[in-house]
Structure 1
Amino acid sequence: MGESIDTHERQTVLIVDDQPDEVDLYSEFLAEDYTVLTAYSGAEALETLSSDVAVVLLDRRMPGMSGDDVLATIREREIDCRVVMVTAISPGTDILDLPFDDYLVKPVSREDIRDAVSRMLVRASYDETMREIVATVSKMATLESMMTLLEMEASSEYTALTERFGDLRAEIDLWGPNGDPYPEFSTEKIDGVFS
């Protein structure tokens, strides 16, 4: 590893997956820039998790304790970390009640993993309302990528999600002092969900 010129402390990422090859691969993607912890089960993840962990990359489908259960426990313990579900499970309306920050469907690339961790570290600086807005937009985008327009229109869960987004949006001003949206919102997404 080369010497880092960054003056801030390395952030810690916990990778949780029951597939050792995937854990090793994601670790390799991140090890140069982050302190990486690994866990091969839900129970091991909860033993490893501490307040030092900034981001958790979490598989949903694991034997024993599922990723959904691990996520619920993280939130119950009020551990202040961002959680990215990294899973082969295609999302459906079942994700609406899951308090994750982002959702990636496997297979994922080096860029997918690195970009997700980087986004989560930016989100960590947001206030609670802004984090909820961004997580809501992420859920909407995830569902939009998997559902047809007719399915979305027929889904009371998706409708409730868009209404929650509208309520949250009304609470804050998403535009920065220079008239620029927060960098995480693409122009297309803003145009699509704000109109």
Structure 2
Amino acid sequence: MEKPTVLVCDDEADLLTMYAAALKKHYNVLTASSGRACIEKYTDHMLRSKNINVVLLDYRLGDSTGDDIACKIRDLGNARTILLSAYDLEREKVDELKSNNCIVDIMIKPVSMRVLLDRVQKALN
């Protein structure tokens, strides 16, 4: 059985590398370092009839915000998006993103790799 695919998007190179390394034992991992690159990689993967199961998405990217990218991903396919943020987001904003099916979960940085793996697995179930 093929491993699920996780797309990780973070504009901090060290975090992107760390998340990808933690995930690659259990998942096929794609990475993107900007909102635009995330959408392009997601679209390209879908056009090749390959599924992306989970997107780990930083909230504050250099070229966009994670809430905007999360809703675009929802419109493109059926990946389950987990937002990562170094900032405490307003509860109303998070609830709105969840009720609009843009995200399934949010994690506040710093994130332990064990928690990251647990949350990705939970999103897949």
TM range (shorter): 0.7 to 0.9
Are 2:81 and 1:83 aligned?
yes
Percent identity of equivalent pairs = 34
* The structure with more radius of gyration: 1
Tell me the residue number matched to 1:101.
104
Q: Aligned letter for 2:73?
A: I
* More strand by percentage: 2
Are 2:115 and 1:115 aligned?
no
Tell me the residue number matched to 1:41.
34
Q: Aligned letter for 1:120?
A: A
Secondary structure of the 1:112 match is helix
Distance, in Å, in 2 between the alignment partners of 1:45 and 1:17 is 9
Residues 32-68 of structure 1 show CA distances to partners (whole Å, capped at 9, x for unaligned) of 1111000000000001013411000000101212111
TM-score, L = length of structure 1:
0.56
* More helix by percentage: 1
Number of residues paired by the alignment?
114
Task: Give unpaired runs (5+ residues) of structure 1.
Answer: 1-7, 123-195
Distance, in Å, in 1 between the alignment partners of 2:32 and 2:107 is 18
Q: How does 1:6-155 map to 2 (within 5 A)?
A: 8-49=1-42, 50-51=45-46, 52-77=51-76, 79-92=77-90, 93-98=92-97, 99-122=102-125
TM-score, L = length of structure 2:
0.87
Secondary structure of the 2:74 match is helix
Residues 112-139 of structure 1 show CA distances to partners (whole Å, capped at 9, x for unaligned) of 11001100110xxxxxxxxxxxxxxxxx
* Over 2 Å off, 4+ runs: none
Cα root mean square deviation, aligned: 1.0
Distance, in Å, in 1 between the alignment partners of 2:108 and 2:81 is 14
Structure with larger RCO (C-alpha < 8 A, sep 6+): 2
